[in-house]
């Protein structure tokens, strides 16, 4: 149950944040078409990096992606308060942090699709993945409302949604350590296997070869 809650939080975070950043890209300084192109290329880069998840592991990749995203989006706070808002370099730094934040989220979004079902038993694998995806889709629906309602803060400006997304990503990065590593392991086939998966001694053993 706890693992399901952690996975659902991950789905909510990546869906709300990814769609929020994507739909809000028009607020960035610079040419809107160039910004859209860069953010699209960032998605492709994130997807390409997932070819290494079998080598470094799902959990490490997920927690690293969430932490990168969290630090990038929370990094917009000092930029907003201490940098010269009229300076082109400030806009460039803000856009860079925005882009890096989306990079981490894009990777975790696709990683969850692979990883989420792997720590459920065979009979419940589709259910577990579908449950997390459903919560994620609801979060995606709410995302434009969050951006609209929180984007015009008199003091923090359009950084409020980024602060929210950053805090959510930070929580997911830490709570993701609770989830079991599934790379190169036999997946659980029964409910008992799933309950013992990753608890105490590693279950099951690594696949040889």
Contact 194, 188 (CB under 8 A): yes
- Give the residue, 189 or 109, on which the prediction is more confident: 109
**What pLDDT, on a 0 to 100 scale, did the predictor assign at position 155?**
62
Confidence check: pLDDT of 46 > 80: yes
121 occurs within a structural domain? yes
Q: Does 92 map to a domain? A: yes
CATH number for the domain including 116? 1.20.1250.20
191 part of a folded domain: no
Q: Kindly state the tokens that stand for 102.
A: 């989306």
- In a domain? residue 193: no
Total of domains in the chain:
1
Question: Could you read off the pLDDT of 173-191 as tens digits, one per residue?
Answer: 998 888 877 777 776 676 7
pLDDT computed for residue 205 by the predictor: 42
**pLDDT classification of 170: cutoffs 50, 70, 90:** very high
Q: Give the pair of three-digit tokens for residue 150.
A: 């929180």
- 198 within some domain: no
Domain that holds residue 109: 2-180
Q: What is the mean pLDDT of the chain?
A: 81
* Structural domain contains residue 196: no
Section 125-153 average pLDDT: 84
pLDDT at res. 154:
62
Q: Which two tokens stand for residue 207?
A: 């696949």
Model confidence over 67-85: pLDDT tens digits?
A: 999 999 898 888 877 767 6
Q: Determine the pLDDT at residue 195.
A: 66
Of residues 50 and 193, more confidence is placed in: 50
Listed in sequence order, the residues at least 6 apart from 103 whose beta carbon sits closer than 8 Å to its beta carbon are: 42, 45, 46, 68, 69
Question: Is 209 domain-assigned?
Answer: no
Peptide bond into 204 cis (omega under 30): yes
**Which pLDDT score is estimated for 95?**
85
**pLDDT > 50? residue 140:** yes
Q: Left, alpha or beta for 200 (phi > 0: left; psi -120 to 50: alpha)?
A: left
Q: What average pLDDT does range 87-115 have in this prediction?
A: 86
The residue ranges of DSSP E strands in 31-86, in sequence order, are none
Residue 201 has pLDDT above 50, yes or no: no
Cα gap 102→70, rounded to integer Å: 10
Q: Is the dihedral of CA 168, 174, 179, 183 positive or negative?
A: positive
Percent of the chain with pLDDT over 70: 85
pLDDT at position 209 is: 37
Structural domain includes residue 133? yes
- Give the lowest-confidence range in 17-21, 27-31, 73-77, 82-86: 82-86
pLDDT higher than 80, residue 145: yes
What pLDDT sits at residue 85? 65
């Amino acid at each position: 149950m706890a693992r399901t809650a952690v996975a659902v939080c991950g789905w909510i975070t990546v869906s709300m944040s990814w769609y929020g950043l994507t739909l809000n890209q028009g607020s960035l300084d610079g040419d809107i078409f160039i910004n859209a192109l860069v953010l699209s290329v960032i998605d492709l880069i994130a997807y390409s990096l997932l070819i290494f998840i079998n080598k470094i592991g799902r959990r490490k990749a997920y927690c690293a992606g969430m932490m990168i995203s969290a630090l990038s989006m929370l990094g917009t706070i000092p930029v907003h308060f201490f940098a010269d808002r009229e300076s082109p370099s400030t806009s460039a730094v803000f856009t860079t942090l925005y882009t890096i934040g989306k990079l981490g989220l894009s990777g975790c979004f696709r990683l969850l699709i692979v990883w989420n079902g792997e720590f459920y038993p065979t009979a419940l694998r589709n259910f577990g993945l579908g449950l997390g995806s459903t919560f994620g889709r609801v979060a995606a629906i709410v995302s434009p409302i969050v951006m609209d309602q929180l984007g015009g803060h008199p003091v923090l400006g359009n950084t409020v949604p980024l602060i929210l997304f950053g805090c959510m990503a930070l929580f997911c990065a830490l709570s993701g350590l609770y989830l079991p590593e599934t790379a190169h392991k036999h997946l659980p086939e029964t409910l008992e296997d799933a309950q013992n998966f990753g608890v105490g001694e590693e279950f099951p053993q690594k696949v040889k070869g």
